Amino acid sequence: MNKDIVHNAFKWMDHNRYAVASVIAFIVAMGFVLNLTGCEAMTHGLANGDTTKVTRTEFQRQALGGEKDLAVRRIELDAEIAAFNEEIKLFNQRVEAGQDDLARQEAFKQQLLDTVGLVAVSAAESTLNPAALIPIGIGLLGGALGIGTAADNRRKDQVITTLKTAPSAPVAT
């Protein structure tokens, strides 16, 4: 009789094979759906070359850490840019000071040549007045003092700049 029940069940399943197959497929599909809904969603981590799967919480933690690292990097880059801009500013100031110094020296040289030329022409024409040489000498002396003062000021500025940029040293008493 036991054989008869099993045989009858297999016979019934053979007769209704597609209905049985659809019930089995439904049971397998429901198991798969339950398995998917029971598992937490996962994705690849944010680290370069990271192939491990992480959960939403871990992914958000990695995203926050990455944003923090990028913000720190941006601050470092902004500081480097500010230092670079300051370096450019100082370089441009040195270029401008050098151009001004060259222009003063050339103006003094031209004034000296003009004065020597005037004295030479006056001497050649025998119209040289010794009293006229006094204002010319005073002008040349003023130009020489101007160049010397400018050179001293540049030297003092360099000393001050060196003291400002040098690390603080203990003062000897």
Domain ranges of the chain: 40-165
- Integer Cα distance of 42 and 59 in angstroms: 9
- Asked if residues 140 and 111 have their Cβ atoms less than 8 Å apart, the reply is yes
- Integer Cα distance of 57 and 65 in angstroms: 12
Please tell me the predicted confidence (pLDDT) of residue 73.
95
Confidence of residue 33 (pLDDT cuts 50, 70, 90): confident
Please tell me the predicted confidence (pLDDT) of residue 132.
67
Please tell me the predicted confidence (pLDDT) of residue 69.
93
Residue 90, pLDDT above cutoff 80: yes
- Asked if residues 46 and 55 have their Cβ atoms less than 8 Å apart, the reply is no
Mean pLDDT along residues 156-170: 77
- Asked if residues 40 and 24 have their Cβ atoms less than 8 Å apart, the reply is no
This prediction has a pTM of: 0.44
Question: Residues 6 or more apart from 119 whose CB is under 8 A from it?
Answer: 128, 133, 136
Residue 103, pLDDT above cutoff 80: yes
- Taking the alpha carbons at both ends of the chain, their separation in whole angstroms is 118
Residue 42, pLDDT above cutoff 90: no
- Integer Cα distance of 119 and 140 in angstroms: 13
Residue 163, pLDDT above cutoff 90: no
Strands in the chain per DSSP E: 42-44, 53-55
pLDDT digits (tens, 9 = 90+) for 126-143: 776 677 667 777 777 787
How much of the chain exceeds pLDDT 70, in percent?
A: 89
